[in-house]
Amino acid sequence: MADMSYGWSGNLGFKMPKNWAFDQFVEYPIGGTPIDQVAASGKDSGTKYFSPGTENTISVSDALDNIRKNLGNKFAVDLNKTITISKGPALKVTLTATDSFSEVGSSPVFTISNGELNPANITNWLANTYGLKPEKLDIVVNGAGTLVESSKITAGNISVKVSANSNDEYKLSFICNVIKEEDKLLDNELSLIIDMTIKPLPFLKGIPNLNVNLSAEDAGRTVVLIGIAALALVITGNPELFPVAIAAI
């Protein structure tokens, strides 16, 4: 039971209750913040210790094992190790798992919430940054969303980093910082980094039944889209992603 001597209740003239615990009798600002001055009768001793609620947690190693299993046991990666997923003359894909969060890439940070990515955010970024056609991006972006859903990463974030190497070679990095796996909070930090080294022109010319006339000037802006399509292909095995990706250019 509390009494407000000033303000609405006090101005109405209510009597102090017999079993009062706290009595606020004046209010004054400190640094612009209103502060109540309160008397205590001792009836309520308050609380000195708060016990935090228990969170359903999972170890980083178990989370990594779950992700691997959820993706069909395609990647046998250990913490702080790098494995090669695919290697060819025009495309090399590696996967690294680290026990610390990685710095985000040059793209905006795309949030994973409830196991989903917002496809509109990714589509808008690709369209605005690289001049790609939004109406042609859906199947490719949805492929990236399928990858997240399949992994059952339910909370975290993804970013993208693009850098140019010599000899018309580009490096594309997908950085995924994992916070929750299957709705379980990780007991430590976990970051998954997929690095793709791409030579755009040889790569596109090596795709069967795909006729493409891509200038060297256009190659850089297509790397991100090719990378997303290639990554989705590795997971889903859907070869239709590549023609769709080219149509978005």
- How far apart, in whole angstroms, are the C-alpha atoms of residue 176 and residue 106? 13
Judge contact between 176 and 103, C-beta under 8 A.
Answer: no
Find tokens 């905006």 and name the residue: 108
Judge contact between 68 and 95, C-beta under 8 A.
Answer: no
DSSP 177-238: EEEEETTEEEEEEEEEEEEEEE-HHHHHHTSTT------HHHHHHHHHHHHHHHHHHHHH--
Global pTM reads: 0.66
Structural domain boundaries in the chain = 2-40, 57-247
DSSP 53-84: PP--EE-HHHHHHHHHHHTTS-----BTEEEE
Number of Cβ atoms within 10 Å of the Cβ of 200: 24
Print pLDDT tens along the chain (249 aa). 555 555 555 556 667 777 888 877 777 777 667 888 888 888 888 777 777 767 799 999 999 999 888 877 777 788 898 988 778 777 788 889 999 888 777 788 888 999 888 878 878 887 787 776 666 666 667 766 777 888 899 999 988 887 777 667 778 888 889 999 999 999 999 999 988 887 766 666 655 555 555 555 565 566 666 676 666 566 555 545 445 444 544
- How far apart, in whole angstroms, are the C-alpha atoms of residue 42 and residue 29? 26
Nearest to 175 by CA among 86, 89, 100, 66: 100
Burial 114-134 (b: 16+ CB within 10 A, else e): ebebebeebbebbbeebebee
Residue 247 CB-density burial (10 A; 0-12 exposed, 13-18 middle, 19+ buried)? middle
